[in-house]
Amino acid sequence: MKIRLLGFFGHVGDGNVHIIVNVGPETRNVHLDIDEIVYALIKELNGSISAEHGIGIMKKQFLNYSKSDPEIGLMKTLKQTMDPNGILSPGRIF
């Protein structure tokens, strides 16, 4: 696999790094494989796959890599408490 673009950017203050890997249209199907490799390493190092403000839909399936069940439960509770009508980003994560 040939990587066409590899970019890193983030928030220096909190150590949050965003990784962008573009392998091209002919290998788009490996995007999930790349995510799995990166997030598995983050899990092994007890890192976080997202900042404190939330989780993107592309990372949704990896949320349990860096958050425990009680932490995810708290996130759901906070979402329900602060957005009881589900009008803020409806159907996105919780």
What is the residue range of 64's domain? Answer: 5-82
Q: What is the pTM of this model?
A: 0.68
> What pLDDT, on the 0 to 100 scale, is given for residue 11?
66
Is residue 23 in a domain?
yes
Say if residue 72 is exposed, middle or buried (CB neighbours under 10 Å; 0-12, 13-18, 19+): middle
Is residue 69 in a domain?
yes
Is residue 76 in a domain?
yes
pLDDT tens digit at each of 94 positions of the chain: 566 666 776 665 666 667 777 777 766 677 788 888 888 988 898 888 876 666 778 788 888 888 889 988 998 898 899 999 989 888 777 7
The total domain count for the chain is 1
CA trace torsion 69, 70, 74, 75 (10° rounding): -20
